[in-house]
Amino acid sequence: MLIEQSAYTNRWRSISPAAKGLFALSGLIASFAAATPTTAAVVALALVATTLLGAGIGCARLARVAAPALGFLLIGSLSLLVSPALDASGSLTLQWLPEGSAPFFRLVARSGAALAALLFLVLTTPLIDLIALMRRLRFPDVLLELMVVCYRMLFVFSEALHDTLTAQAARLGYATPRLALRSLGQLTANLAIQVWSRAHDLHIAALARNNDGPLRFIEPTFADTRRDLAIAALAGSILILGATLL
């Protein structure tokens, strides 16, 4: 996963996740508080600049991660540009920009800025750090347990998929289109069984290690959390004030 790779290798990996979360939250608030589309666009640019210049995420990587979401945003917003209506003769027509272009630009700018805030957070903070942060914020244990197990199962799924594909390919399962279709069908039918069985094995393994309930892991520690939080609060306040006043 491209986002996970960036989260573990970026320049701000050692910054407290609480500080990065606070700044991202400020970005989300600023994107909704922005008075005009131009202001929201400025908020988006500020967040993107922080991600690129501060955290050291590469331009190409950010573009690759953002491209699908931006594509959805642009395609999705097209529905605001047209409005179906019946004309005098009773036939269906499409009216172009019934409310003008303002709602379209407002939505694109707000959503773009909020997306920039989300990308800042996910590209700089590994999921495990976020789960640890949620534990400190006293989210329900059961929810965190589900998150840990689901996260692990994603890799179990990935491993089972890779193993099965390799085994099928080694037996020329994808040599012809007809064989490939058959192999894909078998892969789909058997993947759930494989993972189900591996999940059962994981449970046995946990019991063998005297696990009696919650799955707990050593959580990373961050040296300058207070300093990081103070800087994030200052930067976030500037972002929100700027979005509100501009």
Residues in contact with other proteins by CB under 8 A are 1, 3-4, 28, 31-32, 65-66, 68-69, 71-73, 75-80, 83-85, 95, 98-99, 103, 107, 110-115, 117-119, 121-122, 127, 130, 140, 142-143, 145-147, 149-154, 156-157, 188-190, 192-193, 195-197, 199-200, 202-203, 213
User: Which residue lies nearer to other proteins by CB, 19 or 34?
Assistant: 34
Q: Which of 216, 230, 217 is nearest to 15 (CA)?
A: 230
Q: Is the distance from CB of 120 to CB of 24 less than 8 angstroms?
A: yes
Phi, psi of 220 (to 5 degrees): -65, 150
Q: Output the smallest distance, CB 94 to other proteins, in A.
A: 10
Distance CA 229, CA 210 (A): 38
Q: Output the smallest distance, CB 65 to other proteins, in A.
A: 6
User: Which residue lies nearer to other proteins by CB, 4 or 224?
Assistant: 4
By CB neighbour count within 10 A (0-12 exposed, 13-18 middle, 19+ buried), where does 113 fall?
buried
Q: Output the smallest distance, CB 156 to other proteins, in A.
A: 7
User: Which residue lies nearer to other proteins by CB, 165 or 195?
Assistant: 195
Q: Which of 152, 156, 164, 166 is nearest to 195 (CA)?
A: 156
Report the chain's terminal Cα–Cα distance, integer Å.
Answer: 37
User: Which residue lies nearer to other proteins by CB, 80 or 233?
Assistant: 80
Q: Output the smallest distance, CB 140 to other proteins, in A.
A: 5
Q: Output the smallest distance, CB 163 to other proteins, in A.
A: 16
Q: Output the smallest distance, CB 227 to other proteins, in A.
A: 25
Across 166-201, b (16+ Cβ under 10 Å) vs e yields: eebeeeebeeeeeeeeebeeebeeeeeebbeeeeee
Distance CA 51, CA 11 (A): 10
Across 44-73, b (16+ Cβ under 10 Å) vs e yields: bebbbebbbebbebeeebbeebbeeeeeee
User: Which residue lies nearer to other proteins by CB, 100 or 177?
Assistant: 100
User: Which residue lies nearer to other proteins by CB, 158 or 175?
Assistant: 158
Tokens 């005098």: give the residue.
88
Q: Output the smallest distance, CB 42 to other proteins, in A.
A: 15
User: Which residue lies nearer to other proteins by CB, 45 or 193?
Assistant: 193
